[in-house]
Structure 1
Amino acid sequence: MDIEIKRLSSQQMIPFISDLAELRVKIFYEYPYLCEGDLEYEKNYLTSYTQFSESIFVLVFDDNKLVGASTATPLKNETDEIKLPFLANNWDLNKIFYVSEGILLPKYRGHKIGLNFSRQVEEAIREKGTYETITFSVVDRQPDDPRRPIDWNPPDRFWEGLSFTKHRELKTFFKWKEIGESEASPKPMIFWLKQL
């Protein structure tokens, strides 16, 4: 592996939108998301992040091929579905940074690459000096979900190792078309938080 991790500005990210959209579709097709991805939706979503100067983009390359990524933006920039659980629990949106994803192709997992780029995202947020909390959301699947692969391990231990804590009181729903569904339906999402 010839791994390179790059932190990009919003403008520097624009040429990589299509590649990251394809990577997101590929990763989120896997369990636990089981999402039948929409490439145009992903491109539009990622492009919206480039509209904010404070957004953070950390990309992972293997010999110039995009194999992992994390994007983040202040929570105040996010959709209502993401903001509402925090507003309902009296959190100050201006103090929170939201990480949209931390994804890595399977063959690159278990080599501390995810740890390295997650730390770069946190470092970039800390450098801004005005945020107190980092958060992200994950789909809430039941432990006995019959679609869960036998060898699948939830990444909870990884996140706990980075000092994130699951907050079940912060819950929302995202709509997407799951494998086997005829149309999109709401999926429960739980937030994890880390205090800086």
Structure 2
Amino acid sequence: MTPDRLHTLVVTGSDFTPWLPAVAELRIRVFRDFPYLYDGSLAYERRYLQTYVDSDTSVCVLALDGDQVIGASTGLAMTDETEEFRQPLVAAGLDTESVFYCAESVLLPDYRGHGLYRTFFEAREARARQLDKTLSVFCAVQRPDNHPRKPEHYQPLDPVWQRFGYQPMPEIHAAFPWKDIDQSVETEKSLMFYRKDLGR
């Protein structure tokens, strides 16, 4: 790692196109770790990320070491998200027109602890405010404390998210399927929402 070469780049919509392959590979690599344990494919990732290319509300915050993508964070208006993530908020009585969805943040382990994660949230919240959204939300997968693949010294990110102003919404969950690295088929996972009021 070369800290003096670390920088971030914020892109929106079709400007994300040239970065899509690198971000797809990065997502597969980072999300293999606990708690996601995601056994991904490039074909699926490219289809998934195309949503951010096609949306005029999207943002992708790229973290680079020189010209190498070592982290990325995505978001878009909740109205541009899939039904799986929109519907739980609708069912809870929230106006999704006012909501910005902070989709995912991935960062290689060697680059953690240098403030990039905070930058990811700040840049996405700035995009949300540009779009006049008043609520920022994201989801995190829920795994049991006794999960066999949970690392011995695993530290959940809840304290970090709370420092950034995000509070859990334990009554609101999304359900989304993927194949774990030790499974042969997809299984549905429960993801809990977290929220931060942005104001005007």
Range into which the TM-score falls when normalised by the shorter chain: over 0.9
Q: Which residue of 1 is the match for residue 68 of structure 2?
A: 65
Q: Following TM superposition, by how much is the alpha carbon of 1:156 offset from its aligned partner in structure 2, in angstroms?
A: 0.7
Q: Deviations over 1:35-63 (max 9, x none)?
A: 11111111111111211111111100001
Q: Which residue of 2 is the match for residue 172 of structure 1?
A: 174
Question: Aligned partners of 2:90, 2:120: CA distance in 1, in Å?
Answer: 29
Q: Which residue of 1 is the match for residue 57 of structure 2?
A: 54
Q: Following TM superposition, by how much is the alpha carbon of 1:127 offset from its aligned partner in structure 2, in angstroms?
A: 2.4
Question: Aligned partners of 1:68, 1:45: CA distance in 2, in Å?
Answer: 17
Q: 2:100 aligns with which of 89, 97, 100?
A: 97
One-letter amino acid of the counterpart of residue 14, structure 2: Q
Q: Following TM superposition, by how much is the alpha carbon of 1:151 offset from its aligned partner in structure 2, in angstroms?
A: 2.2
Question: Aligned partners of 2:182, 2:146: CA distance in 1, in Å?
Answer: 19
Q: 1:39 aligns with which of 42, 49, 66?
A: 42
Q: Deviations over 1:132-185 (max 9, x none)?
A: 101111100112222111122101111001000010111121100012211101
One-letter amino acid of the counterpart of residue 193, structure 1: R
3-state SS in 1 of match to 2:54: coil
One-letter amino acid of the counterpart of residue 6, structure 2: I
3-state SS in 2 of match to 1:85: helix
Q: Which residue of 2 is the match for residue 85 of structure 1?
A: 88
Question: Aligned partners of 1:115, 1:86: CA distance in 2, in Å?
Answer: 25
Are the equivalent residues in 1 in contact too, given 2:98–2:135 (CA < 8 A)? yes
One-letter amino acid of the counterpart of residue 13, structure 2: S
Q: Deviations over 1:7-36 (max 9, x none)?
A: 112121100111000000001101000011
Question: Aligned partners of 2:103, 2:53: CA distance in 1, in Å?
Answer: 13
Q: Which residue of 2 is the match for residue 122 of structure 1?
A: 125
3-state SS in 2 of match to 1:50: helix
Q: Following TM superposition, by how much is the alpha carbon of 1:110 offset from its aligned partner in structure 2, in angstroms?
A: 1.2
Q: 2:153 aligns with which of 127, 132, 151?
A: 151
Are the equivalent residues in 1 in contact too, given 2:16–2:52 (CA < 8 A)? no
3-state SS in 1 of match to 2:183: coil
Q: Which residue of 2 is the match for residue 133 of structure 1?
A: 135
- Tell me the TM-score normalized by structure 2: 0.94
- 1:182 paired with 2:184, answer yes
Question: Aligned partners of 2:120, 2:74: CA distance in 1, in Å?
Answer: 11
The number of residue pairs the alignment matches comes to 195
* Structure 1 unmatched runs, 5+: none
* Structure 2 unmatched runs, 5+: none
Q: Following TM superposition, by how much is the alpha carbon of 1:97 offset from its aligned partner in structure 2, in angstroms?
A: 0.5
Q: Which residue of 2 is the match for residue 106 of structure 1?
A: 109
Q: Which residue of 1 is the match for residue 196 of structure 2?
A: 194
Question: Aligned partners of 1:51, 1:168: CA distance in 2, in Å?
Answer: 31
Question: Aligned partners of 2:44, 2:35: CA distance in 1, in Å?
Answer: 20
